[in-house]
Amino acid sequence: MKALLVLTLTASLCLASLVPEHEKDPEYWRQQAQAALRDALRLQRLNTNVAKNLILFLGDGMGVSTVTAARILKGQLQHGQGEESQLEMDKFPYVALSKTYNTNAQVPDSAGTATAYLCGVKANEGTVGVSAGVTRDQCNTTRGREVTSILRWAKDDGKSVGIVTTTRVTHATPSAAYAHSANRDWHSDGEMPPDALQGGCRDIARQLVENIPDIEVILGGGRKYMFPKNTSDVEYPGEEKHRGTRLDRRDLVRAWRESKAPGKVARYVWHRRELLALNVSQVDFLLGLFEPGDMVYELERNNETDPSLSEMVAVAIRMLQKNPRGFFLLVEGGRIDHGHHEGKAKQALHEAVELDRAVGLAGRLTSPRDTLTLVTSNVLPARLPRAPHVQNP
C-alpha cells in the first residue's frame, strides 16, 4: 500500500510538472473563450456565394472517438501533450451529427452508407448505387433500380470530377459514385458467381471504365482487378496473390485509355515518382493505381513507390482546377476502418491524421469563396454485431 501511494504521488507530480506555464493562468482560458465567441459572431455574416467546387472528405470508420484520439496523436507528433491540439477539421465553422443505418440493418456498412451520401438514397447492406429494392447477391433484382450519384450530376453540370482513396478504387465508398451492384465485393468478374455473370451483371472495375468514362481523376489501389487472370503485377511480379483476377481476359487500363475522345491525353501511372512528375496542364485524364489491392497503411507506406493521401489530393485538385465550371472531388481515408477492424489502433489513427493533413492541404489549394469542403464519416469505427432491422409498429 505504501509503495502504491508513493507511485501515485510520483505520477501526479510528474503530470503536474508537464502543465505548460501559460495554462496555469486563468486569463489564458478566458481569452480562448472570448476568441471562440468572436468566431461564432463572425458566422452571422454568412458566405452566400454559390460553390463552384465541392470536396467531400470521407473518413471510413472515423467516429467521434477516433477523431478525439487522432487530435491527441497529432498534438503528440508535434511534441505537445496532445489534448490541446487542433485538427484541420476542428477549424471548420459548422459541425453536425447524422443518423447512419441501412434499410435492412441497424449498424450500416460502407456500401449502403456510400449510396446514401453520394446518391441520396438509403439502401440494403452490401449493395452500391442501387435502391433498397435490390437484394444483396441477387443480380436479377438490379435492373431498373440503379440510382445516380453526385458525381454524375456534377458531370451533367459541366464540372470535372475525381475520386481519391486509400483503398481499392473499386471499394465500397468510391464504387457508389459510378457503379450499380448487388454486391460490393464484385470487384472484377473473378469475384462474381456464375449466375450473376449469366444474368448480365457487370463487375465494378468494368463499370468504372464504362459507366462514366469521363472521370478526370481516379487515384488509389486496385490494380489486380484491371488485368487478366494470372497477369503478373508490375510491382510484385513474383507474388501470386497480386496477379490479375479478370476472367474475361480484358485489360481495363487499355480499355480506359481507348474510351477517351480523340485528341485527349489519358495517363496511367502506378509509381509515386510518375505521379509527382506529372505536368497536369498536359493531361486530360489521370488513372493512378499504386497497389494491387488496398494501398499500404501510412505508417508502413513505401515512400519511394506509393504516394501519400495528401500527395494524391494535391495532384487531383490541380488537375480538376483547370475546368472553369468547377469540380467535384471525393476523397476517402478508407483504411481508418481497416485499422480498427484489424485491431491496429496505431495504424488507424495515423490514417486519420493523414486524412486531416489532406484536409488542410486542400484548404490551402482552394478558396472558401468558391469551394465548399465537407469532412464526414460513414460508420462506427468498431461495428457491433449485425442486428435485424426493427419495423415500426
Which DSSP string do the residues of 123-134 spell out, in sequence order? --TT-BSB-TTS
Contact yes or no for 87/356 (Cβ under 8 A)? yes
Put residue 263 in one of left, alpha, beta given phi > 0 → left and psi -120 to 50 → alpha.
left
The SS3 call for residue 371 is strand
> Whose CA is closest to 207, among 141, 151, 262?
151
Query: 17 an active-site residue?
Result: no
C-alpha cell at 263: 485528341
Contact yes or no for 333/323 (Cβ under 8 A)? no
The CA dihedral of 82, 87, 90, 95, to the nearest 10 degrees, is -110
> Whose CA is closest to 290, among 224, 369, 207?
224
Query: What does each C-alpha distance from 214 to 5, 142, 151 come to in angstroms?
Result: 68, 24, 11
C-alpha cell at 61: 470508420
In angstroms, rounded to a whole number, what is the distance separating the alpha carbons of residues 96 and 303? 36
Amino acid at 138: Q
In angstroms, rounded to a whole number, what is the distance separating the alpha carbons of residues 250 and 135? 28
The partner residues of 58 in beta bridges, in order of sequence, read 332, 376
C-alpha cell at 330: 471525393
C-alpha cell at 21: 506555464
Handedness of CA 115, 121, 123, 128 (dihedral sign): negative
Counts of helices then strands in the chain (DSSP H, E): 13, 7
**Maximum Cα–Cα distance across the chain:** 82
Q: Which residues contact 256 (CB under 8 A, 6 or more apart)?
A: 209, 213, 266, 268, 287
Given the residues 65, 85, 98, 110, select the one marked as catalytic: 110
C-alpha cell at 324: 472553369
Q: Which residues are catalytic?
A: 110
